[in-house]
Each structure stands twice: as structure tokens, then as C-alpha cells.
Chain A
């Protein structure tokens, strides 16, 4: 059912995705026309403020959106490699979220780690119980084998004495350890894609660096692709090869990390980069983007960023929506300055 021939080498191909939420005040558009393509083994960073739709986009890949969310249009094409050779592409939006097929994708092919490592584990079951739950669901192994896999994975993410720690409860782990355990859990079923939803935001800066280093190492060893969501550009610079900048549910700029940092085009990206505080530049006010993110209930007409853009032109930006424009080989932006 719903299988399509493999058209490209992309592992995940989100095409023109639009998602709305039904609320008491009416329908709210959270994601509007997002397209992201992830190749196997690629690390892509998704940057945006709160409300930019980055988390909603990620949740839609696993179909774990809240009940009042509707996928209005678009497709999420996932290439499933069944035993390596014959790849099969499925449109995730066409699969019943409660079906067995969807459940086999969740955790099995696409795994997810969350912002709060403490809240991601249930406090009443051991780390091992929750890890083995995933392993037993997705891999054809018995309990002792699952336990061995879990212990190996814990050792791999740098948890010392894993034979003992596997039987401990989450509250007996430190915050950084919990996120390591969460990564171990997510990777224990060999997913081809890992979605990391702000995995370092809740951690201390030193622990953040360790976890990022660990994720890079694991990516190199295991070869899975990573979609790394963050609002922290400093974090993304360390890990991602490609960056997608989102604003109010749409992608405003997309390109290789180097390009985005050294040659940003969209006024939003430019301002976002200016807002990063720099060491040694004391006694200057931190640059902030003027205004606030508009309410999704009142999405601006024309270019969605025009209400806060210093380079807007009247009659154009507030009336027409800019089209995605090619800047460099892989670098695109949607802004009238470049059309």
C-alpha cells in the first residue's frame, strides 16, 4: 500500500508540507509549504524560533502530532530499506497513524530524542526496561539478547558500568547521563534517521559539548542521518552540514552550513546571526530582531517576515509571497531582494 518507486537517493523527502491545527479561534496554519530533503547519513540542522513550526514538522514525520492537527497537503516520502537491497518509498502522510506499519517506522526506522531528557523517561520503570521495550518491538531478539544490546548501547554512549546502570531508574542518572541513555535507546534499533529535537537545550554548556561530540561520533560509526532541531546557531555550526532556517512555518533560507554562516542572504538569517553574542565585543548592545513573531492566527500577507524586516518594500513584500530563489549550488532563499 502507498508505495512509490524510489525516485531519488533521498532518505527522507518532505515536499510542500502544510499542517494546520483546529483551535477554538479557528484553523491555525503551523507549517506552510515546507520541503526538506535528507540524504542517508546527512546531518541537517533546522533552526528557528519558538513557533516556527520546526517541532511540528518533525512530529509529522512520525505521525505523533496532537489530535487536532491536520496535514493539509504535501507528502513525506521515506525510503525504507528492507534488508538493504530493494528500497521502497512510502508516503508517511498516507499511513494510518495507529497502524502497525506506522509503529514499525517509529523507533525502528526513524527514532527521536527530545529536549528534556528527564521527562523523556518514565520515572517508574528502569532505563533498561524502557530500552528493551524498544529493542523487543523492533528487533527479532529475545529478552536476554535485548538486554545485551541495551548494555552494549549504554557502553557505547559512554555510560560507565552499564551492567549495573541498566537496572537503575532514570532519577538515579544525572541530566547528561539521561540524555546519553536516551540517545542509546533511540539508536538501539539502528534507525536510518534520528530526529533530535533540541537535545542539548536542557543541558549545561559543558555537557552540551560532550553530547554533541557523542552524536557526531555515533553518526560516523552508525551512519544514520540526523535532523537536528535547535534555536541555537552555535550548536548547529558544530554539527550540521546543511542548515534549514524556518520562520513562522515556512523555510526562508536553506544551504550548506558554511554558506549560511558566511554568506547569509535572507534578512531573517542575517539578523539571526547578528543576534549571536560574540566574545570580545563588549559594551555593545546585543542585536535583536525588531518586533515579535506574529501570532499564527494573524499570519502576515505577502512575505511572512515583512512585518519585522528592515529591507521591506511597500507594495511588494506585504502583498506578494516571494518564491524560492537559487543563490548558489545548494543555497536557496525566498526573498524579493534576490528574485
Chain B
């Protein structure tokens, strides 16, 4: 198990190294750089004519004149040693400040969505498999597919409408107006959570549809295994039997796709966040690419990929704990 862990940690580090190079390459890809964009923004329409030398001096000011490998090293070095993601040009501050609040909100939505998805999908998938072809099975399947079929923005709007009219909460945003500038308190935290409910439900609803079907299908495979019949033939009570044998294996595919789920939820997040007026990272990523604000884009990409790679690492470990075949045969 120690060897297994070491292997995975090493794999994580190597993957992140290559990911950082790829992210940096993507940051470099768009034609032009921020120096040109800056010059355009500052002086267009003012009648000032800029020479190539002026732009070059802006470039030197911003540190964009150095060769790519040097900029890569100083960028990644800053992240590793000082946790500093570099300057955010368009905001004229540091990336850390720009991303700061949004990252916590994004992570909060990502994880609450994941947890809600699994809390719903795993028991329902297991139940649907046990009651296969029953009315309950079909209605749960249809209901979960609704989440997948209905566009997220529509769901978000409908749920927003319901929460405002039926529960009297404020429209969108992160906080109700009375808490927006208030210092942190328990009430403010509760207010924040209430505003996270709608996006979490919208995103989880579409994610559960897939996971319910995955759990249900694996569960059906497992229920028909001879080992289950053998356990039944030695007198194990039915509920305990189903939980101990097939259900335990039915969650394996869910665990192994945690990274995949994070990625999908993150991709669906911007539209929901736009409708609900939530400041999150996805929308900022698109904007910063349009602005050629490369360090902001790079930081978001790097953080997201790190999340995915790290969750894959976690799912490997959880899988190894769940399944001795992975643990003892080296996966």
C-alpha cells in the first residue's frame, strides 16, 4: 500500500509538471500579447501614435520581453514557492486577488454539487436496480433524465423563480442585500448557503442522471453474480446481502469518475452562474482569454486541472481501499 501511494504521488507530480507546460503553451497561443492590448486600450482614440519601440517598452515593463522558458520558470517558480500566480494585467492587481473570492465560491459549488449528486445517485441507482422494471424504477429514471434533458439555464431560471416566489429569497447573487457588505457572521454564512442551493440543485440534477444509470447498470451486473447467489444460499439476509456484495462494487465506477465529474460540472457552471449572477471562475476564464490576460487564464486552468488530477488521485486511493484487487495486484 505504501508503494502504491508513492507511485500515485509521483504520478501526480509528473502529471502536474506536464500540465503546467501545456497550460503555459495555451497561454502563449493566442496571437499578440497583453502589451499590444494594453497599448490599444490606453491610447486608442486619443490620437497618440505609438511606435513599435513604445510597445516594446511596455513589454519590458510587464516582463513579457523575456524568452518563453524564462517566463515559464519565473511563473511556475512563483506559484510553487510563494503561491503567487502572477499579475492580473486587466485588473491592475495580482491574480491571487482577482481569483481569491471566486475560487472559494467555485470550489464550494463544485463540491456541494458532487456530494449532492452522489447522495442522490448512489442510493437511487441501487434502489432502481433492485426494483428493476418497476414503476418506481421508471419514474426515477424519467425524473433524473429531465435534469439532463432540460437546459441548465432554464432549470436555473425556474428554480430561481420558485425560490423567490415561494421562499422569499433574494434574486440571484451570492448574498442577500442586507448581508452583502456585512461582516462575516453565522447568519451571513447561512445566507450564502441558501444562495448556493439553486445552482447546486441545477448542476447536480443533470449529473445525477448519468450516475444513476451507471450505478443501476453496475448494480444489475453485480446482483446476477454467482457470488451473490452463493451468499444468499448461505442464509445472508437480503438487505445485508445487497449492501455487502453488489452495492459495494456498484459505487466503483462512480468513484473512478470523480475527476471527470468535476470537469463536467465546471464546464456547465458558467451558464448557471450567469443566470444566477454568481461570480465564479468559468466566466472569468472566458473573459480573461478574450482580454489576453494570460496569467489569470493560466491560473484558472492550472487550478482546475490540479483539482481534476488531484481528485483522480483521490479516487485511485479510494478505489484501492474499496477493491483489494486494485490494491494487491498493483492496479
Contacts and interface: CB of A to CB of B under 8 A. Distances in A.
Nearest to B324: A169
Interface stretch (A75-83, A118-126, A248-256, A323-331): A118-126
Contact of B235 (A103, A120, A121, A169): A103
Contacts of A53: none
A171 B227 contact: no
B304 to A, nearest CB: 33
A64 B229 contact: yes
Given A123-B325, A124-B322, A169-B325, A137 B231 contact: no
B97 interface: no
B234 A137 contact: yes
A124 B249 CA distance: 8
A116 B227 CA distance: 9
B234 A106 contact: yes
A49 B230 CA distance: 22
Given A119-B225, A124-B248, A134-B235, A114 B328 contact: no
A21 to B, nearest CB: 16
Contact of A134 (B225, B234, B238, B249): B234
A112 B230 CA distance: 8
A112 B237 CA distance: 16
A116 B231 CA distance: 14
A107 B227 contact: no
Nearest to A111: B234
Interface in A108-145: 108, 111-112, 114, 116, 119-126, 130, 133-134, 137-138
B161 interface: no
A185 interface: yes
B48 interface: no
Nearest to A189: B234
A125 B230 CA distance: 14
B324 A107 contact: no
B90 to A, nearest CB: 52
B221 interface: no
Interface residues of A, number: 33
Nearest to B248: A124
A107 B323 contact: no
Contacts of B232: 64, 106
A123 B234 contact: no
Given A116-B226, A119-B227, A124-B248, A107 B328 contact: no
Contact of B230 (A108, A120, A124, A126): A120
Given A120-B226, A123-B324, A172-B328, A138 B235 contact: yes
Contacts of A111: 233-234
A120 B227 contact: yes
Given A106-B232, A114-B229, A171 B325 contact: yes
Interface string A150-172: 00000000000000000001011
A104 interface: yes
Contacts of A189: 234
B18 to A, nearest CB: 34
Nearest to B226: A119
Interface in B168-190: none
B26 interface: no
A111 to B, nearest CB: 7
A62 interface: yes
Nearest to A121: B227
Nearest to B327: A169
A282 interface: no
Contact of A122 (B227, B238, B329): B227
A133 B324 contact: no
A98 interface: yes
Contacts of B226: 114, 116, 119-120
Given A122-B245, A172-B328, A62 B227 contact: no
A130 B228 CA distance: 11
B136 interface: no
A107 B225 contact: no
Interface in B231-289: 231-238, 244-245, 248-249
Contacts of B233: 62, 64, 106-107, 111-112
B229, B235, B245, B322 — most chain A CB neighbours (10 Å):
B235
Contacts of B249: 124
Contacts of B238: 98
B230 A169 contact: no
Contacts of A186: 234
Given A124-B323, A172-B328, A108 B235 contact: yes
Interface of B: 225-238, 244-245, 248-249, 322-325, 328-329
Sorted nearest first, the 8 A-B pairs with minimum C-beta distance are A107-B234, A107-B235, A119-B226, A106-B235, A122-B227, A134-B234, A103-B235, A112-B233
25 contacts: A64-B229, A64-B232, A103-B235, A103-B236, A106-B234, A108-B235, A111-B233, A112-B234, A116-B226, A119-B225, A120-B226, A120-B230, A121-B227, A123-B325, A124-B249, A124-B322, A124-B325, A126-B324, A130-B231, A133-B231, A133-B236, A169-B328, A171-B329, A182-B230, A189-B234
Interface of A: 62, 64, 98, 103-108, 111-112, 114, 116, 119-126, 130, 133-134, 137-138, 169, 171-172, 182, 185-186, 189
